[in-house]
Amino acid sequence: MQNKGILMVISGFSGAGKGTLVKKLLSEYDNYALSISMTTRGPREGEQDGREYFFRTREQFEENIAKNGFIEYAQYCGNYYGTPKAYVEEQMQAGKDVILEIEIQGAMKIKEQFPESLLLFVTPPSAEELQKRLVGRGTETADVIAQRLARAYEESEGMDAYDYIVVNDDLDECAAAVQKYVEAAKNVPSRRVEFITEIREELKGFAKGAK
């Protein structure tokens, strides 16, 4: 039987380097498939429908919610973002490790539904560096940047719910660390829920036999 891939969540403050890290993982390793989210946010310069996101209206997004078409969805800074179901299921069955680059509320919903998923939180080495990267990217107005930095503070409260905090200082090192975590997550003992269920079932036999 072919091994099912794992579900890997990458969250992090806006400007932390999630997108950059994901690109690096996809280009360096062949075990990954990236889930493309649907959003109501407008495309940034250079972004293409169906590549970075499926850019849709609120109406279309809400239709997809009604059709039960998302594994999870959330609102972030005034827009909807959601993970379409079909692709993720298909790719995991095909043995790929599926990357969901999603924010924290969505990550918590994934953890509930898929307790064996791997949750990574990407952070820059400092808050100052975060601001520098966000400004340097040059894709948002000063107001939106301020909103996202304020949101980063709120999000920092949920960081400890993640399996690993990944500091994105040197990109190569960061990608290599992520690859290691994924490999480890694929080993049986760390697929905890499945493993615990199995071994408990086996141990039950001893419990019955003992007086």
Ligand X SMILES: Nc1ncnc2c1ncn2[C@@H]1O[C@H](COP(=O)(O)OP(=O)(O)O)[C@@H](O)[C@H]1O
Q: Under the rule (CB under 6 A), what is the footprint of ligand GDP?
A: 14-15, 18-19, 37, 41, 72-74, 76, 81-83, 101-103, 105-106
5 is in an annotated binding site: no
C-beta of 168: minimal distance to ligand X in Å?
5
69 is in an annotated binding site: no
118-123 sheet: strands from edge to edge: 32-34, 97-101, 7-12, 118-123, 164-167
Q: Are 92 and 27 in contact (CB under 8 A)?
A: no
42 is in an annotated binding site: no
Nearer to ligand GDP (CB atom), residue 64 or residue 83:
83
Q: Does 24 contact ligand X by CB under 6 A?
A: no
CB half-sphere exposure, 199, CA atoms < 13 A: 8
Nearer to ligand X (CB atom), residue 18 or residue 109:
18
Q: Does 11 contact ligand X by CB under 6 A?
A: no
Q: Which does 97 bind (CB under 5 to 8 A by kind): ligand X, ligand GDP, none?
A: none
d(CA 18, CA 27): 14
Q: Which does 76 bind (CB under 5 to 8 A by kind): ligand GDP, ligand X, none?
A: ligand GDP
Q: Which does 161 bind (CB under 5 to 8 A by kind): ligand GDP, ligand X, none?
A: none
Q: Which does 168 bind (CB under 5 to 8 A by kind): ligand GDP, ligand X, none?
A: ligand X
Q: Give the contacts of 17 (CB within 8 A, at least 6 positions apart).
A: 122, 124, 133, 168, 171, 174
What is the chain's percent helix, strand, coil content, to nearest 5? 50, 20, 30
Nearer to ligand X (CB atom), residue 175 or residue 185:
175
* Amino acid, single-letter form, for residue 180: K
23 is in an annotated binding site: no
d(CA 84, CA 37): 6
Q: Give the contacts of 82 (CB within 8 A, at least 6 positions apart).
A: 37, 38, 39, 61, 64, 65, 70, 72, 73, 74, 106
Select the residue whose beta carbon is closest to ligand GDP and give its number.
106
Residues 149-188 that bind ligand X (CB under 6 A): 168, 171
- Give the DSSP letter of residue 49: B
Q: Which does 102 bind (CB under 5 to 8 A by kind): ligand GDP, ligand X, none?
A: ligand GDP
* Site of interaction with ligand X (CB under 6 A): 12, 14-20, 133, 136-137, 168, 171
